[in-house]
Chains A and B, each alone.
Chain A
Amino acid sequence: MNKAGKALIELRQMDELADMESPVHSIHALIKLIVTITYIVLVVSFHKYDFTGLLIMVIYPLFLFNLSGVPIKTCFYKLRLIIPLVCMVGVFNPIFDREVLVHVGNVGISGGVISMITLMMKGVFSLMASFLLISTTKIDALCAGLRMVKCPSMLVTLTLLTYRYISVLTEEVAIMSDAYHLRAPGQKGVHYKAWGSFLGQLLLRSMDRADELYNSMQLRGFAGEFYYADRKRIGVKDIIYLIVWVGIFFFFRYVNVIGLIGNMIF
């Protein structure tokens, strides 16, 4: 299968996840967005050697994966895109930072190794959080939430329209790629002589599509202003969800629970 086909499957998978029902899915999108961003900001703000403090933050994604029924496997598949740059940056830490910070038995662990691990954990945790957000929230609900905080309607509408047409056009690219490769066996990609016309043809057709789309909007009374059929309001349950999670995050950020427990034992 070609890249476009894979992207379509990935998109469908996300849609299906967001379409499931669970307590997490039923929380208001805006609340989930705020909780997610708070989580990410706090996770990333941990000190680069504070490996033990950071570890406890795994509670949020783990709990949510369980509660929502979203498979954790899908999430790890997505790590492949983001991890290379993180690794590239992190992998130098053990080389440049060799001062030994911790001894486990006779083996000394340098600051670089710890900061590399911390960095990767931050990467994985924050990815899990944003993955959980979108796999439990439909994009239209998220956009409705953004409108509630006065995000310009032009931006929100553009996002919705773009999302809608991404699957249409990606499908066309998938078909075109198949058609191309059926007639060009053994070629890895589009030959440079067809660089312009391959996407160019699709671009011209897409411009016609945009015209027709605009017509179809006009014919249904569109006069420059988008009206939305937002239905959901923030309820008590949502507020409780927000307060509890944000409270937990800040508690774990400032109280090193794992460290305290460790100190009690030793």
Chain B
Amino acid sequence: MIEFKNISFSYDKDTPVLKGISFTINDGESVGLIGANGAGKSTIMKIMLGLLAPSEGEVLVDGVLVEKTSLSDVRRKLGFVLQDSDNQLFMPTVFEDMMFAPLNYKMTKEEAENKVDEVLESLDLMYLKNRYNHRISGGEKRMAAIATILAMEPEAILMDEPTTALDPVNRRIVINTINKLPQLKLILDMILDTCERVILLSKGGIVADGRTEDVLTDKETLEANRMELPLCLQGYKGKVCF
């Protein structure tokens, strides 16, 4: 459903950020996008969403070329969960924030409110409905941010590090929620029990793209690109302890 064709991008001519990247993600897939700081992960997201225009190549979302005239169609299909939920939730209450996208997409108030209730029910978040966004906890904010994206009924969900800065319980809640979503999922960051496929990015190019268990066990490739084996494979103080 999402197709990158030979995408290059640079802010100025001397320092390319992305160098000829191509990949395809199909409906229902769950993909993790990993790479060191500055590898170009966020840039890929922004190009996909049409926030940045690639210097070369083209992006297709559901067969539609991402360009100025198609932006609203494309963005309707993609739900992007930001890393900082405070930037996502800009309305005073959770309810109003969730209403924002449906109302923008010309749903009537009744339809939109039904949709909001439906999403909140399905995520067990009804108790958050009329709460202030600046009064809820970090974990609740993350869940509210996901809920606010789900209320716009996206066909694909993009998430920027959805589990950072969460305690284990909240982390588990968020992961379980993500696992239940039927949509295509592209996650910046690696969640072992969610992503079936991993794309490893380094210095603006793709160095590995494959099944999670293959990419993440390849110690040499990982370490050559400023990454490391998942902690569970490293064991305790270097010793495998099972």
Greatest chain A CB density within 10 A among B103, B134, B152 is at: B134
- In the complex the two chains form, what is the Cα distance from A144 to B93 in whole Å? 13
A133 to chain B, nearest CB (A): 17
Contact partner of A229 (CB less than 8 A), chosen from B80, B95, B132, is: B95
Shortest Cβ distance from B132 into A: residue = A15
The proximity string for B residues 90-130 relative to A, scoring 1 for CB distances below 8 Å and 0 otherwise, is: 11110110011101110001001100000000000000000
Contact at A164–B152, with CB atoms within 8 Å?
no
Contact at A219–B80, with CB atoms within 8 Å?
yes
Contact at B104–A220, with CB atoms within 8 Å?
yes
- In the complex the two chains form, what is the Cα distance from A227 to B87 in whole Å? 19
B168 to chain A, nearest CB (A): 24
Q: How many residues of A contact B (CB 8 A)?
A: 28
Residues in A193-224 with C-beta less than 8 Å from chain B: 209, 212-213, 215-223
Contact partner of B80 (CB less than 8 A), chosen from A165, A216, A221, is: A216
Interface Cβ pair total, 8 Å cutoff = 81
Contact at A212–B82, with CB atoms within 8 Å?
yes
B52 to chain A, nearest CB (A): 10
- In the complex the two chains form, what is the Cα distance from A237 to B113 in whole Å? 26
Residues of A whose CB lies within 8 Å of any CB of B are: 12, 15, 19, 138-140, 160-161, 163-165, 167-168, 209, 212-213, 215-223, 227-229
Residues of B whose CB lies within 8 Å of any CB of A are: 49, 51, 72, 75-76, 78, 80, 82, 84, 86-93, 95-96, 99-101, 103-105, 109, 112-113, 132-135, 148-149, 152
- Contacts A218-B51, A220-B104 supplied; 4 other A-B pairs, CB < 8 Å: A15-B132, A209-B87, A212-B84, A212-B87
